[in-house]
Amino acid sequence: MSARIFSPAKTAMQSGRSKTGYWVLEFDPEQPRKIDPLMGYTSSGDMKSQIRLTFDTREEAIAYAEKNGVAYRLDEPKEPRRRQISYADNFRYDRRTPWTH
């Protein structure tokens, strides 16, 4: 039984940082998913794949995994690269790309 500990990124529908900053522990699937031939549903007999535990800090998630003997891997969040640009840069005479319409 192994798990993944990660901090989810903001959704594409968000412009702010709401609902981020927490940590999630998800168990890795122990059985592959199967496709039902009649209806086409995807199913699995693995009940742990439905468990999603949330924690306020990374240390709490790691402590839970170690206390319960769960092997885990830690996925660090990637910091977004922000580029400072200004509106006035669109009209500079020494632009990197030429202005075209």
Per-residue pLDDT averaged across 86-94, rounded? 81
pLDDT digits (tens, 9 = 90+) for 20-76: 889 999 999 888 888 989 999 988 888 888 899 999 999 999 999 999 999 999 999
Q: Where does the pLDDT of residue 101 fall: very low under 50, low under 70, confident under 90, or very high at 90 and above?
A: low
CA distance 38 to 26: 30
Helix (H, G, I), strand (E, B) or coil at 48: helix
Class of the domain covering 1-8+21-29+39-76: alpha beta
Closest residue by Cα to residue 51 from 67, 30, 73: 30
Residue ranges of the domains in the chain? 1-8+21-29+39-76
Alpha helices by DSSP H, listed for the chain, are 58-67
Q: Which residue has the higher pLDDT, 52 or 90?
A: 52
Measured CA to CA, the distance from residue 8 to residue 21 in angstroms comes to: 8
